[in-house]
């Protein structure tokens, strides 16, 4: 690059217009401009551009910009907060979580959510079953519930079944001497005599099917020896 090109370089002309040249450099450029019309035209073109830029009024931001920026900052902070909490929930996998371990953690969290949701639905469904506290009526619905002698019984298959018991080991007919003696040894189960319907219950670790008197007779003779 020649000395002529260097003195008339765009960055030199721009510095001249901005008043950033030293005194010696400014005098050198002005002497060059007096001898070179092309450099003067370039300088005037740059001056017009700068003057035009100075005449442009600064654009004012819309009134809603501040609210928008503030809202975006708050959302970003909230997103970072939840990301940190999610990252902390995976700390059981160590300080360096691989994508596979993070995916595994998400699967576990989703499985727990589905499980507890199903439990809540089932519990609500069970709580909605009406409680029967009186003698048996005709036309019972499957799943109807009865509380008797401290036990929760459900109606199924033409008999009441205690909750979470297996198949009965034997049957006890309350109309027989054996049945009356059995009932006498378990006085807390006397409401079974008024039930009028079979019941499968657990007594002293044994699952039995208690059959009431024929025809649902609730007037039972007193057991012998009582």
Give 134's pLDDT tier (boundaries 50, 70, 90): very low
d(CA 79, CA 199): 58
The answer to whether the CB of 163 falls within 8 A of the CB of 126 is no
Give 44's pLDDT tier (boundaries 50, 70, 90): very high
The strand pair at 145-148 and 151-155 is best described as antiparallel
- Inform me whether the pLDDT recorded for 179 exceeds 70: yes
- Inform me whether the pLDDT recorded for 116 exceeds 70: yes
The answer to whether the CB of 61 falls within 8 A of the CB of 68 is no
d(CA 200, CA 211): 9
For residue 193, the model assigns a pLDDT of 83
For residue 97, the model assigns a pLDDT of 53
d(CA 204, CA 217): 26
Q: Which of these ranges, 16-20, 97-101, 156-160, 178-182, has the smallest mean pLDDT? A: 97-101
The answer to whether the CB of 198 falls within 8 A of the CB of 211 is yes
Write down the pTM of the prediction: 0.34
DSSP state of 189: G
For residue 5, the model assigns a pLDDT of 56
Taking residues 2-26, what's their average pLDDT? 81
- DSSP H helices, 56-145, are 65-89, 99-127
The answer to whether the CB of 166 falls within 8 A of the CB of 207 is yes
Number of other CB atoms surrounding residue 192 within 10 Å: 23
57-103 tens-digit pLDDT: 777 777 787 888 888 898 888 888 777 776 666 555 555 556 676 77
User: Which residues are 146's β-sheet partners?
Assistant: 132, 153
The answer to whether the CB of 36 falls within 8 A of the CB of 8 is yes
- Inform me whether the pLDDT recorded for 168 exceeds 70: yes
Taking residues 28-57, what's their average pLDDT? 88
- Inform me whether the pLDDT recorded for 184 exceeds 80: yes
């Amino acid at each position: 690059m020649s000395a002529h090109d260097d003195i008339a370089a765009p960055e030199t002309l721009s510095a001249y217009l901005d008043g950033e040249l030293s005194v010696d450099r400014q005098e050198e450029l002005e002497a060059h401009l007096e001898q070179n019309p092309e450099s003067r035209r370039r300088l005037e073109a740059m001056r017009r551009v700068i003057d035009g830029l100075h005449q442009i009024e600064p654009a004012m931001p819309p009134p809603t910009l501040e609210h928008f920026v503030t809202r975006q900052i708050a959302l970003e902070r909230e997103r970072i907060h939840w990301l940190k909490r999610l990252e902390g929930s995976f700390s059981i996998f160590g300080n360096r979580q691989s994508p596979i371990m993070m995916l595994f953690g998400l699967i576990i969290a989703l499985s727990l959510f589905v499980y507890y949701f199903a439990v809540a639905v089932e519990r609500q469904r069970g709580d909605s079953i009406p409680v029967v506290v009186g003698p048996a009526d005709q036309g019972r619905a499957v799943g109807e519930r009865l509380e008797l002698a401290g036990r929760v019984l459900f109606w199924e298959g033409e008999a009441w079944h205690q909750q979470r018991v297996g198949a009965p080991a034997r049957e006890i007919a309350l109309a027989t001497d054996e049945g009356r003696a059995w009932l006498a040894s378990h006085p807390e189960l006397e409401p079974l005599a008024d039930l009028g319907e079979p019941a499968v219950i657990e007594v002293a670790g044994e699952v039995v099917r208690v059959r009431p008197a024929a025809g649902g007779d609730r007037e039972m003779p007193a057991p012998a020896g009582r």
